Structure 1
Amino acid sequence: MFRYCALLCLLLTSGVTAAEPDQLRLATFAADITIPLGHRCMGVLPIKAQRIEDPLEARGLVLLGSGKPVVIVALDWCEVRNGAYDQWRDQLATAAKTDRNRVMVCSLHQHDAPVTDSGAQALLDSVGMQGELYDVAFHADCIARVSDAVRTAIASAQPLTHVAASEAKVAQIASNRRVEYPDGRVGYNRGSRMDPKSAEAESDAGEIDPFLKSIHFYNGDRELATLTSYATHPMSYYGRGGVTADFVGMARRRRQLDTEGSMQIYLTGCSGDVTAGKYNDGAPATRGILADRLYRAMVEAAAAAKRQSITEYDFRCGELQLPFHEGEEFTEEAMTAVLQDDTASEKARILAAMGLSSLERLETQPIDLPCLDLGIAQIVLLPGEAFVGYQLMAQRLRPDSFVMAVGFGESWTGYIPTKRAFDEGFGHSWRWVGRGSEAVIREQLTRVLAE
């Protein structure tokens, strides 16, 4: 007893703490974020939400105990952009008592789901188009409810002792937009659904990442959560008024039924140029077929998981200052003229507002490029519709490790083509970045993925 008291006095007087380092913990959370009827989908679709085919969800986890907490949340929404993206990160950071850049918010990019951009909606409000992009009050309520779910989850966080990284090949879902035609032409014409007899459907799949990747989190031998990611646009058919999480949501929910007590969180990989078009005819029944193929890969990846102990994690964050679109129609003057033209179509005015919001954002704030390093695996979140080439690039930069590259973080960029795609003339109204993006992304990926 005397020796114990003497040691305690020594610790107190020397300013040294006897506390052990915090044990790693994991909290998981989920909340409903289904849009109300009458809400616009994909930002510009002419048919607004008419019925709820299945709910939209926010699903995520919080890592605690090795530095400030890290939050990962996946939304069954099309995109979150600019000021709206910061609203999510700021409020979730407050809930988790961490920094904004340690909150990794990503969308799954289903098209029968909303696009949110606070700057764009404010511009639309100014020309009498209130609520045409999204419902601001509904958006705020979603953030508040997910933030509450984060606080509740942290209060009952579980010890995190092991992680595992695994993958499985996916059969007949992904195909690249890029098609080489028999006459030598190259076009980016393969959409999410194609006529099975078309040249686009009959052409080979092109550049894809054929593997579904999974990262598993455990308390002892009990699985707490699984992050699963696959690179493809998550649409079977869309634009008919039915709100849905589509085939990726179906596969995730089916897998959730298999794994009571383990949160299943699906993330969309870098897939700006990857769709299901080669294998999807757009028939309603095909949605279930695609879901089953994805589900089977989830099961196979889980069976291959081998636990390894974890005692710490690391977090790094780069910054991307991407160039803006080079076209004259994307100048501030041109987009302002379209926004203010009440004879222009709703779609054109909404796109103009989104472009103006993005241009303002570019001038004031770079894009964060966060990377969570679990030792055996790294999770890096890229912006917008980054092409699959960036996912493959990230894997090549760390050939010694397991890299999960996720897309659809900060999404003001729209499509982010590779240099090859730019050189081949890739063009689309949903692209706000310009040439030179690949070099910037490569430099920052190299930095955040470094050991």
Structure 2
Amino acid sequence: MKSRRRSIVLLAALNIFLIVRPAAAARAEAVQVATFDVDATPPVGFVMAYDPVKRVDELTLRCRGIVLLSNEKPIVLCAVDWIGIGNGGNDAFREALANAAGTTPDRVAVHTLHQHDAPGCDFEAEQILRDLGVKDLGRYEGAFPRQVLQRASDAVKKSLATAQPATHYGWGVGEVQKVASNRRILGDDGKVSATRYTATKNPALRAAPEGAIDPNLNLLSFWNKDQPIAALSYYACHPQSYYRTGIPSPDFPGIARFIRGQAVPTALHVHFNGAGGNIGAGKYNDGSKPNRMVLANRVADGMKRAWESTKKHPLAVDDLGWQTVPARLPVAEHLNEKELLESLTADDAGKVAVGAARKLSWLRRCQAGHAIDISCLRVGTARILHMPGELFVEYQLAAKAMRPDLNVAMAAYGDYGPGYIGTEVAYSEGGYEASPRASSVAPGVERVLTDAVRKLLKPADAADASTVNPLVRVVDLSIGESTTVELCSGEKVDVKLVDLQETRDPIRQAVRSAMVTVQVDGENIILESGMYNLPQQVAGVQIDCSVTKGYNSNGTPTFWGLDKDARLRLWPKDSPLMKPGALMYPVDQRWFATRTWFDNEPVDGGTKVLPKIYYHSGMDIGGTEELVKVIAATDAVVVSAGDDVLPEYLLEGGGKSRYGEGKTPVAPRADVVYLRDERGWYYRYSHLHKINDTIKPGRTIDQGTEIGLLGKKGSSGGWSHLHFEIKSRQPSGKWGTQAGYAFLWEAYRRQYQPKLVANARRKSFLIAGNDAVLDGSASWSATDSIQKYEWTFSDGTTATGPRVTRTFSKPGVFSEILKVTDEAGNVDYDFAYVHVLDPQKPDEYVPRIHAAYWPTFDNKVNQPITFKVRSFQNQHGNEVWDFGDGSPAVAVKSDGNAVQQAADGYAITQHTYEKPGDYIVSVQRSRKDGVTATTRLHVRVEKE
């Protein structure tokens, strides 16, 4: 015998992204959650699924759930500790609970736990038996279920008065160990050779592999600030340890639920059985009585792990939604009304009536055109699918694969009418679950259900939809054009682009500065685009200009997708730029640890000065090759990793898109990772030295996950850096760069809480004999208390003030030192990069140099620090290090960028400092004619 992992046909094809958001109704201030819980334990003598009740001294059975209240009609989620509620019984429960909650039945989901020492309910089957004159209705006697339904309805109605605000929702995942195993064991012929039921005594069957399961228990929770209101768990497994005792019991899932309820007493714990039709505990359960508590504790441990892993997110009314797709399931060919009626009226009908009545009820409903509602609850990034019958686990696994960017769970055992619902291949494999005795649907059910799930999880355009709205509002305007912008707060402001002035250098005609005059609600402000500028405040808003039309003229228009004169971004005055925790700095190193090339800066590099300008889109963050970790800035789904890419991002015919070719910004390359976040934004991580093996397309990763190591692979120009770029839909309808400097700066401040940061990043590009303005005014203090700006120049002279003008009389690359000091005496350093051309060769770049060090945090006395340097366009001489501590100079020799991708392109040395302090490290290399390129680093050494 063997166990073979299988998945339904569409599993591989359905990596789908995004969702249809319903239109908002009248605005509510907040989501509210009401909880209800009533006793559903049958009395002594009532016939349960298999036996009459003998006594009721175990844990009670519960009918419990929640009501979600927001902008639209209420949503009711109910779980009952019964074996099943099917056909007319399911209809009746949904209708009654809908009336109690003031909603419609299509917004009510009723599920059962499916343990076997418990009642069932099917009012249509009951009526069929009554119409046939059957006296002993057995499990279909409806008096007690109607009592419970009345209790539940009363409880729902009463709960509305005590509904609590749900300010947050939580999502957690916990692995349940040694409980679930696949029941269907295949032989060498591909057919089911044995069924491993929930209690299995056969050691050979228990020794067989676990098979296809979903080991994860998902937990959706609702919170009123820090107080949990409700916890909804989802786990796929038949819930019987043993049964036929005559004693009602919620079995091991119910006991686990009780344990967690005791641990978190303020929250109502509601447990839903997932797609566990072909899953049981048979591998780990021999049916012995003590094993019930063993299994219960294992499930409780999984619930605990899910609780402890829970991440809370703010919950707004727009984060909640409900969508339903009616599905007509195909009826099994073996169902025949005449034969079913004959079996019900035969003298020896007996227990045959149990199955036949339900099947006849199901058949008649299907013949009348009845459709089952397949529903999806949306809570932020969570999606809960509500499904009928004893569904196979492959449906659950496929649904999760459709939306790896979201948190997907499944509640099955809704309408119990269809019985077992297998995959298409399962009906050819045989076995109990696919037999006429167990299943009342045809193999085509897979297509019907999968199509319904796909509709619930897939929008019209997978590339565009998002599950979270960003705080920023973006508008493109032409000069003289006005528009009204609704901010994320709902406030509206009038915005007009009054003027645009662009300054170009005389060498390349590159835009070096773009100034826009903008009017907001009648107040004017002048903004400079990009260039390390942050949003400014005017008229009660924050506003910046991310790009202007001049960058299109001799640059690459597809970078930005800008068709008008300028792009403006707005936020409310006191709003963060991104929600706290939404973004983190994508490298494990200090801010400005080495060279950067940020939003819109013209890149002056290569051999010849060319008229075509590479205006930098995105963020180049320099770093030490092979040592700096690159980390996920957001929670996201991996779209591509190296040359591996999700299939829906391939071109027609299966080819990989190059930049600008596809319907999305994704352009796979061996050194590149693309992630996609809940805003629908794409994040590009380029030039990676290594991509971690765990970064695979389709996987959802948490913020902070290590993606790989910083490097210089791909089209890096030979210098080691991370190219980090955000792409989003722009007002033009095109994909374009979402300028990232302000977002990363905000994220870095939150993450590392610096006290003082010097900023002299703006680069200068000129011909010898001309002036450069060195600007340190973008430096920042947490207390807004910078007292001094002190400059030290390459020739040894000094100056003070946030801005200084200097004449550079000879060619070379210079690194001029800025020191800032705040009122508390804190100091920080940065370096102004000045690129000076030879007036005799104005069409040639001079040699350049890049250096980096590692680690950049928490350096201590006597701790070795690694320094790397590489020169560009210069094979002559050596790089010479001055470590700023009075130690002798150290000479090394890089390859001068002779081969961009050379593994040993950077020259490496180490240095140890004997005293704490701030050290200015300089390294330079001179050409034969004396033209020198210099760069500097600021190394902070802490006390022991």
Q: TM-score, normalised by structure 1?
A: 0.92
**Structure-1 residue corresponding to 2:196:** 190
Encode CA deviations 1:304-324: one digit per residue, 9 max, x unaligned: 111101112111001111111
The 8 Å contact of residues 27 and 71 in structure 2, kept in 1 or not, is answered as no
Backbone CA RMSD of aligned residues: 1.5
Match for 1:217 among 210, 222, 228? Answer: 222
Decide which of 201, 206, 210 is 2:211's aligned counterpart: 206
Q: Which of 384, 390, 415 lines up with 2:389 in the alignment?
A: 384
Q: 2:39 aligns with which of 27, 32, 37?
A: 32
One of 50, 56, 74 as aligned partner of 2:54:
50
Letter in 2 for 1:153: S
Q: Is the 8 A contact 1:89 1:103 kept in 2?
A: yes
Contact persistence 2:190–2:429 (CA under 8 A): no
- 1:90-125 Cα distance to aligned partner (Å, 9 max, x none): 110001000101011000101111111111111222
Residue 443 of structure 2 is aligned to residue 430 of structure 1: no
CA contact (8 A) 1:39 1:134 kept: no
Higher relative CO (CA 8 A, sep ≥ 6), structure 1 or 2?
1
The residue number in structure 2 matching 1:293 is: 298
Q: Distance in 1 between the 2:59 and 2:307 partners?
A: 25
Alignment of 1:242 onto 2:281: no
1:428 CA drift (Å):
5.0
Whether the aligned pair in 1 keeps the contact of 2:125 and 2:140 (CA below 8 Å) is: no
Relative to 1, partners in 2 of residues 1:215 and 1:186: Cα closer, same or farther, differing over 3 Å? same
In 2, the alpha carbon distance for the partners of 1:183 and 1:321 equals 33
Residue in 2 that maps onto 1:354: 358
- Contact kept? 1:179, 1:187, Cα under 8 Å: yes
- The whole-number CA distance in structure 2 between the counterparts of 1:269 and 1:285 is 25
Residue in 2 that maps onto 1:148:
154
Quote the offset at 1:202 in angstroms: 0.9
Conserved in 2, the CA contact under 8 Å of 1:124 and 1:350?
A: no
Which amino acid letter does the alignment assign opposite residue 393 of structure 1? Answer: A
Closer, same or farther in 2 for the Cα pair 1:309/1:128, shift >3 Å?
A: same
Kindly provide the amino acid, as one letter, of the partner of residue 141 in structure 1: Q
Structure number having the greater helix percentage: 1
Alpha-carbon offset, residue 351 of structure 1: 1.5
Q: What is the SS of the residue equivalent to 1:51? A: coil
- For residues 254 and 435 of structure 1, what CA distance do their matches in structure 2 show? 40
Distance 1:349 1:260 in 2: 43
AA at the equivalent of 1:157: A
Contact 2:171–2:219 under 8 Å retained in 1: yes
Distance 1:183 1:23, change over 3 A: closer
How many angstroms apart in 2 are the aligned matches of 1:74 and 1:446? 25
1:375, distance to aligned residue in structure 2 (A):
2.0
Inter-partner Cα distance in structure 2 for 1:209 and 1:176? 10
Shift of 1:21: 2.9
Compute the displacement of 1:153 (Å): 1.0
Q: Give per-residue Cα distances to partners, 1:376-400, cap 9 Å, x unaligned.
A: 1011111010100111111111111
Partner of 1:28, secondary structure, is: strand
Deviations 1:53-81 (A, max 9, x none): 22110110010013111000100000001
Q: Distance in 2 between matches of 1:114 and 1:415?
A: 18
What is the TM-score of this pair, normalised by structure 2? 0.44
Instruction: Give, in whole Å, the separation in 1 of the partners of 2:165 and 2:405.
Output: 28
Q: Give the Å deviation of 1:429.
A: 1.0
Equivalent residue of 1:430, what SS?
coil
**Would you say the 8 A contact 1:66–1:314 is kept in 2?**
no
Partner of 2:73, secondary structure, is coil
CA distance in 1, matches of 2:170, 2:372: 29
Report the Cα distance in structure 2 between the residues aligned to 1:271 and 1:95, rounded to whole angstroms. Answer: 30
Q: Contact 1:74–1:107 at 8 Å: present in 2 too?
A: yes
CA 1:99/1:20 → structure 2, altered by over 3 Å: closer, same or farther?
closer
Give distance in 2, aligned partners of 1:200 and 1:185.
15
| Mapped partners of 2:134, 2:421: distance in 1 | 31
2:342 matched to which residue of 1?
337
Distance 2:312 2:328 in 1: 38
> Shift in Å at residue 360 of structure 1?
1.1
Match of 1:115 in 2: 120
For residues 20 and 247 of structure 1, the distance between their equivalents in structure 2, rounded to whole angstroms, comes to 42
* Amino acid paired to 1:239: R
Residue 13 (structure 1) aligns with: none
Matched, 1:166 2:211: no
Give the deviation of 1:181 after TM superposition: 4.2
2:71 corresponds to 1:72: no
After superposition, the Cα gap between the structure-2 partners of 1:20 and 1:71, relative to the gap in structure 1 and judged at 3 Å, is closer
**Other structure's SS at 1:431 match:** coil
Aligned residues: percent identity? 37
Q: 2:414 aligns with which of 404, 409, 412?
A: 409
Deviations 1:150-193 (A, max 9, x none): 11111010001111111011110001111134787533511010
Q: For residue 271 of structure 1, what is the aligned residue in structure 2? A: 276
Counterparts of 1:354 and 1:185, CA distance in 2: 28
What SS does the aligned partner of 1:62 have?
A: strand
1:325 aligns with 2:332: yes
Distance 1:184 1:382, change over 3 A: closer
Tell me which amino acid in the other structure corresponds to 2:322: F
In the alignment, residue 331 of structure 2 is paired with which amino acid? F
1:23 corresponds to 2:30: yes
What CA distance in whole angstroms lies between the structure 2 residues aligned with 1:55 and 1:27?
Answer: 22
Structure 1 partner of 2:489:
none
- Residue 280 of structure 1 deviates from its aligned partner by 0.4
Question: Which amino acid in structure 1 is aligned with residue 445 of structure 2?
Answer: S
Measure the CA separation in 2 of the matches of 1:362 and 1:283.
41
The equivalent of 1:157 in structure 2 is: 163
Letter in 2 for 1:304: S
Distance 1:380 1:20, change over 3 A: closer
Is 1:81 the equivalent of 2:90? no
User: Going by fraction, where is strand more abundant, 1 or 2?
Assistant: 2
CA distance in 2, matches of 1:173, 1:138: 33
- Residue by residue over 1:129-150, the C-alpha shift from the partner in whole angstroms, topping out at 9 and shown as x without a partner, is 3432233221111111111111
The amino acid of 2:323's aligned partner reads R
Q: Does 1:132 align with 2:132?
A: no
State the aligned residue count. 426
Does the aligned pair in 1 maintain the 2:220–2:231 contact within 8 Å? yes
> 2:272 is paired with a residue of what secondary structure?
strand
Work out whether residues 415 and 431 of structure 1, in 8 Å CA contact, stay in contact via their aligned partners in 2.
Answer: yes
- The Cα offsets for residues 291-350 of structure 1, whole Å up to 9 and x where unpaired, read as 0000111111101111101112111001111111112xx201110110111223x21122
- Higher mean C-alpha deviation, range 98-107 or range 113-122: 113-122
Q: Which amino acid aligns with 1:115?
A: G
The structural deviation recorded for 1:355 is 1.1
Distance of 1:366 and 1:281 partners within structure 2? 39
Cα pair distance change 1:333/1:67, threshold 3 Å: same
The one-letter code matched in structure 2 to 1:370 is S
Give the SS at the match of 1:419: coil
Aligned to 1:176: 182
Does residue 67 of structure 2 align to residue 62 of structure 1?
A: yes
From 419, 425, 442, the counterpart of 2:450:
442
CA shift, 1:128, in A, is 2.1
* Separation of aligned partners in 2, 1:142 and 1:31: 8
Task: For 1:326 and 1:99, locate their aligned partners in 2 and report how far apart those are by CA, in whole Å.
Answer: 33
Q: Distance in 2 between matches of 1:336 and 1:188?
A: 32
